[in-house]
Structure 1
Amino acid sequence: MEKHIFRTSIISSHLSQENLEAELTMNPTASKKSEEIANFVEIFPILKAEILKDLPLMDMPKDKIEWIDKLIEINVAGGKMNRGLTVLHSLQLLVEGRTLTRSEIFKANVLGWCVEWLQAFFLVADDIMDQSITRRGQPCWYRQTNPSSSNNSLIGNIAINDSFILESCIYTLIKKYFRNEPYYADVLDIFHETAYQTELGQLLDLTTQPNRGDFSMFTLDTYRRIVKYKTAYYSFYLPVALSMLMAGIVSKPSFDTARDILLPMGEYFQIQDDFLDCYGEPSVIGKIGRDIEENKCSWLICQAILNGTPAQIALLKKHYGLDSKVDVEIVKRIYNEIDIQKIFRQYEDQSYGQLVEKIKLVKIMPQEVFLKLLSRIYKREV
């Protein structure tokens, strides 16, 4: 029953329940997409059970097993799952001319969930560091009620250790399902390497605003370095690289080509994210944006510095990075005065065009791998 409810809720986020049957009948593409989503969602309880079943053998009490169960359910499940599904989608395009076996589909989805687990690890930790309020439409994990508390205290800093637990689950799953695969060591390497790259990106992000009102480090070069490491590697390069390993691709030029396209695509995605942090509806994007309050080196503030008048920049230095509604509104007013939305739309179209032209030059692997991924994020609203 739990699995059915979970599966239905995910599918319903893409197609309303009452229209699902008609949509699947009339639109074979939608039918295939929904089937892929359903298959992906369906193995989540299996993977969670694999993690939980070892805990009694490690002398974990029942209440702590329930804690980890809830930790996984709330933080790993319930996202858009784009990163995880990219592994299977890319593998299907890489093995042109044949149909994937059931085993290949299952293993691609396992790796996809490992990517989702990695993101959950990052998000739980990131929300603490940024003092975020909501995540996926509910309180961040560290702001939720401590299940072991008798006075309704919050999980708080225990969530730091919980993030480590989420990361460790990845290697438990990889060992179980891939230990006998020839690419086992490569999968381990790329997960460790990607985690390290993302942590370096987080360090860059957290240390670019040492003094509020000091904009000396708020440059596009700094911004690009942050998002390359903090977002692009794990969100775009990792899922495709995993599919390449499954497809038996081992040549360095192939991975270099993928990196050359996917890292700029990740930058494009993060700039969209920065824009939505300021202008997206919390009920739609699932979180309350706090880049302004947190004094972040975001794309918007970099553009405001480049396009603002000296008077506007002086006001930004005075009000950017303060956690009050009045200060945030002043910053947003200046964004509107320089027409940041127009600047963003121009950037979005230009960046999309440049990526398409770069993809058209690819000969070493199917161009569709990159075009499909790009099409899923172009003009996105969430």
Structure 2
Amino acid sequence: MDIDAELKQIEQRICTLTSEQFEMPACQNLHSSCKDTMETVVNQALTSSKGGKRLRALLSLLSYDAANSTISSNKSSSENSKENFNRASMIDLACAIEVFQTAALIHDDIIDESSLRRGIPSAYCAFSKVYNNLRIGTGLGIMLGDLLAAESFNIAGNCAKNLKNTQELLLTFSDTQRSVCVGQVLDISIEMMDLDNTELLAQSSLNVFKWKTASYTTISPIKLGFLSAGLDPKLANDLAYSIGEPLGIAFQLADDLLDVVSDPKHTGKPVGGDIREGKRATLLADALQNSNEKDKAYLKKAYTKKHRSSGDVKRIIDIFYKSGAIEKSKKRIKDLWEQSQQALQNSELSEEAKNIMQSIIERFIPEQWRI
């Protein structure tokens, strides 16, 4: 399979689907001032939808291929023709996941007050600049996120009727959106948590990763792909969780780690962006648990004030290294990766299907943290 060709097709299809969703009657025949605003929103929708690795779409699409490989290796020519039609619908479903991802990121940037996304101004900042008004920019950002979330469900509904397990597909898609919202609430609640209970902080952070990240990054894409191919719903659910949950948590741990050890040219975000935002995750919990009293006091003070300077970011990263939090995070990632691998290898999928799955899940975790 040519992954690059798949990526190109997904990227083009996302652009087409997003444009089509804004061709609704409500967006036509508007007063000139309203029309200009709507055009700005549509253009930002297309801008915000560009870029990204499209890992969720690829995972869902290849999970579909893997399930098809397991279900049957011999199809008649007429069945193959129908399968090609179904795969086109599966591509749209995979794109729907990415559209929802964009919606979630737009809202996430507003909550975190992040000015950049994928190396360019985040949606609400772009709107704020156009209208020279933060309140209007934030309001339009919220509505764009809502529009894209609704759009993602429209896309899913249109293509699900051409796929197997239609009802389960739509329930899974809606449950995924709810899980992400629950995860976001939990994420916000951690900002108010007492930093003295480091074990609770670490456990709560991992729970957020399960609800907010793994739910729509790995679990749902795998489950949607398996269901769409016709895999038994219970088996699809069990495999999606056993393979996807540890993979998704490891993915978020790796993303947090990349925030402090990687070049911003590669991540599209400044080094220590999560630290500047005051994000309380496992790195902080592990550092608090293993630091000396002086560093522990500094971390608590830094994370309870409103803003952290560049000097704060540098010192906090140094403490993360010195306390062993960086190495502990790497170990967590490796352990979760191995758990996901074991679930895949012990699954009822065919050997060909396992190879298909392996080819995509390896893209979620940097190689140096898998071995």
Distance in 1, Cα, partners of 2:220 & 2:119: 26
Letter in 2 for 1:279: V
Deviation at 1:68, TM superposition (A): 3.4
1:94 equivalent among 58, 62, 67? 67
Instruction: Tell me the alpha carbon deviations over residues 109-143 of structure 1, each in whole angstroms, 9 at most, x when there is no partner.
Output: 10111001111111111101101121011011111
**What does 1:217-228 correspond to in 2, within 5 Å?**
219-228=201-210
Matched, 1:49 2:34: no
Indicate the residue corresponding to 1:275 in structure 2. Answer: 257
Distance in 2, Cα, partners of 1:369 & 1:257: 15
Query: What fraction of aligned residue pairs are identical, expressed as a percent?
Result: 24
Indicate the residue corresponding to 1:203 in structure 2. Answer: 185
The 1:294/1:41 distance shift into structure 2, 3 A limit, reads: closer
Indicate the residue corresponding to 1:16 in structure 2. Answer: none
Asked whether the 8 Å contact 2:259–2:274 carries over to 1, the reply is yes
2:339 equivalent among 354, 357, 360? 354
Q: From the two aligned structures, give the one with the greater helix fraction.
A: 2
**What does 1:1-382 correspond to in 2, within 5 Å?**
32-55=2-25, 59-61=29-31, 62-96=35-69, 97=73, 101-146=83-128, 149=131, 155-179=137-161, 183-210=165-192, 219-288=201-270, 289-321=272-304, 322-363=307-348, 366-368=353-355, 370-379=357-366
Bigger mean CA offset, 206-215 vs 105-114: 206-215
Distance in 2, Cα, partners of 1:85 & 1:58: 34
Instruction: Tell me the alpha carbon deviations over residues 246-273 of structure 1, each in whole angstroms, 9 at most, x when there is no partner.
Output: 1112331331232122111111001001
Cα RMSD for the two superposed structures = 2.7
Deviation at 1:45, TM superposition (A): 3.5
The 1:140/1:209 distance shift into structure 2, 3 A limit, reads: same
Instruction: Tell me the alpha carbon deviations over residues 265-291 of structure 1, each in whole angstroms, 9 at most, x when there is no partner.
Output: 111001001101222222211123432
Deviation at 1:380, TM superposition (A): 5.8
5+ residue gaps, structure 2, are 75-79
Asked whether the 8 Å contact 1:134–1:140 carries over to 2, the reply is yes
Asked whether the 8 Å contact 2:180–2:215 carries over to 1, the reply is yes
Q: TM-score, normalised by structure 1?
A: 0.82
Bigger mean CA offset, 319-328 vs 257-266: 319-328
The secondary structure found in structure 2 opposite 1:287 is: coil
Instruction: Tell me the alpha carbon deviations over residues 281-311 of structure 1, each in whole angstroms, 9 at most, x when there is no partner.
Output: 2221112343223332212112112322233
The secondary structure found in structure 2 opposite 1:292 is: helix
Instruction: Tell me the alpha carbon deviations over residues 134-165 of structure 1, each in whole angstroms, 9 at most, x when there is no partner.
Output: 1011011111145873x576723321121111
Distance in 2, Cα, partners of 1:217 & 1:294: 21
Distance in 1, Cα, partners of 2:157 & 2:325: 47
The 1:351/1:171 distance shift into structure 2, 3 A limit, reads: closer
5+ residue gaps, structure 1, are 1-28
Bigger mean CA offset, 307-316 vs 356-365: 356-365
Bigger mean CA offset, 121-130 vs 84-93: 84-93
User: Quick one: higher RCO (CA 8 Å, sep 6+), 1 or 2?
Assistant: 2
Distance in 2, Cα, partners of 1:148 & 1:309: 48
The secondary structure found in structure 1 opposite 2:232 is: coil
Letter in 2 for 1:336: Y
Distance in 1, Cα, partners of 2:251 & 2:302: 27
Letter in 2 for 1:89: L
The 1:224/1:311 distance shift into structure 2, 3 A limit, reads: same
Distance in 2, Cα, partners of 1:259 & 1:349: 18
Bigger mean CA offset, 254-263 vs 182-191: 182-191
Distance in 2, Cα, partners of 1:45 & 1:212: 44
Distance in 2, Cα, partners of 1:165 & 1:258: 28
Distance in 1, Cα, partners of 2:111 & 2:23: 31
Deviation at 1:66, TM superposition (A): 1.5
The secondary structure found in structure 1 opposite 2:60 is: helix
Distance in 1, Cα, partners of 2:227 & 2:251: 24
Bigger mean CA offset, 44-53 vs 221-230: 44-53
Q: TM-score, normalised by structure 2?
A: 0.85
